[in-house]
Amino acid sequence: MMLFCIFLVLLGETCQGQPNATRTLGIVQDTGIIRAEIGKNVTLHCFCQNDVTHISWYQQSLGGELCLISTRMKQITVAEMSPAFQKRFHVLAHARECSNHLTITDLQASDSATYFCAVLEFNGIEFGPGAFLHVRASLSDTQPVVHQPVVEQLRPGDSLNLSCTVDAESQCASEQSLYWIKQGAAGAAELTFPSAEQCTTEKPHKRNCTFNLEIHSASASDAGMYYCALASCGEIVFGNGTRVEIIGRW
């Protein structure tokens, strides 16, 4: 879905801890899952090579379209911001070092999304690997709880049905969506989707749901951290993550 949305843009359709940095041809940007608190500020870093003409930032919410945040010419340090992002989004740029950092102030739950730094070269547009920003709200008694196993070990060629269980209030049942987010060895966050959903109502206003993600014929590329993420009541709640390890040899 994430790559599909990027292809739409190319076709003209619109719409805990220190982060890693990953290079994709002409782009170096923060990657992985970056966690921040509501009301705080966060800065996403991006550097590019000198043979580019324009530098941009894009936002893609879970299951949503790719939206342009800002764009600027490499020689000009003032970025043009899209109207929806003018209030709390700011770009700090330096032409000499080709940097294009995005700062978001007074973080809101709706800012949870994947952020891509992109450059326009003479032969087309190029996207960085993206960083998923998870804006965490203060804990409450009614906040959903996401349970998932800590470690799963596979041998090459094995299959795995990775599952997580969610305990949530039913007042937002119609608005709940579940996603799997994989953070690979290179640091980039990749969005995937569950293969099945089974829900039961244990108590009034209380639902228990199990979501599955199937891995077929495991290979080295399947190793990494898999996070179960529930979007509910305008917020996103993460599980602690399951580390999938590939052991043995082919």
pLDDT in tens, 132-151: 999 987 655 455 678 888 89
* CATH code, 145-246: 2.60.40.10
Looking at the chain, the number of H-run helices and the number of E-run strands are: 1, 22
From 175, 162, 177, select the one nearest 241 (Cα to Cα).
162
Higher pLDDT, residue 232 or 214: 214
From-to residues of CATH 2.60.40.10 in the chain: 2-136, 145-246
165 Cβ contact list (under 8 Å, min separation 6): 146, 147, 148, 208, 209, 210, 211
1-15, 92-106, 122-136: least confidently modelled range: 1-15
CA–CA distance, 229 with 240 (Å, rounded to integer): 10
CB burial of 181-198 (b: ≥16 within 10 Å; e: otherwise) equals bbbbeebbbbbeebeeee
Task: Please work out, in degrees rounded to the nearest 5, the angle formed at the alpha carbon of residue 189 by the alpha carbons of 159 and 138.
Answer: 110
| Yes or no: domain 2-136 corresponds to CATH 1.10.3720.10 | no
Higher pLDDT, residue 96 or 8: 96
CA–CA distance, 95 with 162 (Å, rounded to integer): 46
4-8, 66-70, 90-94, 218-222: least confidently modelled range: 4-8
What's residue 17's pLDDT? Answer: 43
In this prediction the pTM is: 0.80
